[in-house]
Structure 1
Amino acid sequence: MSDLATRKCKPCERGASPMNAEQVRQYLIMIDGTWKVENEGKQISRTFKFDNYYQTTAFVNAVAWIAHSEDHHPDINFGYNKATVIYSTHAVGGLSENDFICAAKVDALLGS
């Protein structure tokens, strides 16, 4: 587990600069390799697969708890046996350290 999972999110100021491509690369290696950079470097996403709806919704609820405790909220799309978690920091118009902290905490839920 990355030390990112032990960090806390910090409030982002509107208008602050998002991470540049090099910073994103540096942080990306600290989380599970299945996270993808998308939307021209403005977001990261990962799809998780489960055996059934119960497991999927339990996972989504755990991610919601992380979001609440960190005050950093992803977009989550889910169905019967999969959930896609998408992080982006709207206040900066791209990625911030908070996105990677939360991604690492989500990874830790499943031991990845």
Structure 2
Amino acid sequence: MTALSSQTCVPCRGSEPPLSPEEMEKMRILVDNWRIVDRGGTPKLTRSYKFSNFKAALAFTQKVGEAAEQAGHHPKLITEWGKVSVFWWTHVINGLHQNDFIMAAKTDLAYEQED
């Protein structure tokens, strides 16, 4: 299978079913630093990234935001001093889709490129 970070998100119109718990876990293994959390009945992928200061955290937030805008798929981003928390899910299906895992992998790649 092609690396997730090199895949492209497909438009999600809302008629697609969310991934089943089994499918979510198979995909989550491909982005092993991410966790699946339930927030208000909606499964979301989440991960926090550490930085040495606020400026670096803010730059990473901007980089993730630009990738999200390019893909047409947008996360929840929480930027703090030395930390950025990212949450991916597909709003229109109120759950997780393959796009969320693609974007999680792209987020990891952006973090690796920060070094």
TM-score by length of 1: 0.92
2:76–2:86 contact (8 Å) kept in structure 1: yes
Q: Which residue is equivalent to 2:85? A: 84
CA contact (8 A) 1:88 1:96 kept: yes
Contact 2:57-2:83 at 8 Å conserved across structures: yes
Structure with more relative contact order (C-alpha pairs < 8 Å, separation 6 or more): 1
For 1:8, the equivalent position in structure 2 comes to 8
Are residue 103 (structure 1) and residue 99 (structure 2) matched?
A: no
2:95 aligned residue: 94
Q: Quick one: distance in 2 between partners of 1:102 and 1:3?
A: 12
For structure 2, the residue ranges without an aligned partner over 5 or more in a row are none
> Which moved further from structure 2: 11-20 or 92-101?
11-20
Asked if 2 retains the 8 angstrom alpha-carbon contact of 1:16 and 1:91, the reply is no
TM-score normalized by structure 2? 0.89
Identity %: 30
- Superposition pairs for residues 1-112 of structure 1, below 5 Å? 3-31=3-31, 33-39=32-38, 42-111=43-112
Question: Cα offset for 1:41?
Answer: 6.2
SS at the partner of 2:92?
A: coil
Q: Return structure 1 stretches of 4+ with deviation > 2 angstroms.
A: none
| Runs of at least 5 residues in structure 1 that lack an aligned partner in the other structure | none
Is the helix fraction higher in 1 or 2? 2
Q: Size of the alignment, in residue pairs? A: 110
RMSD over aligned Cα atoms: 1.6
> What is the rounded CA distance, in whole Å, between the counterparts of 2:58 and 2:79 in structure 1?
8
2:48 and 2:85 in contact (8 A); partners too: yes
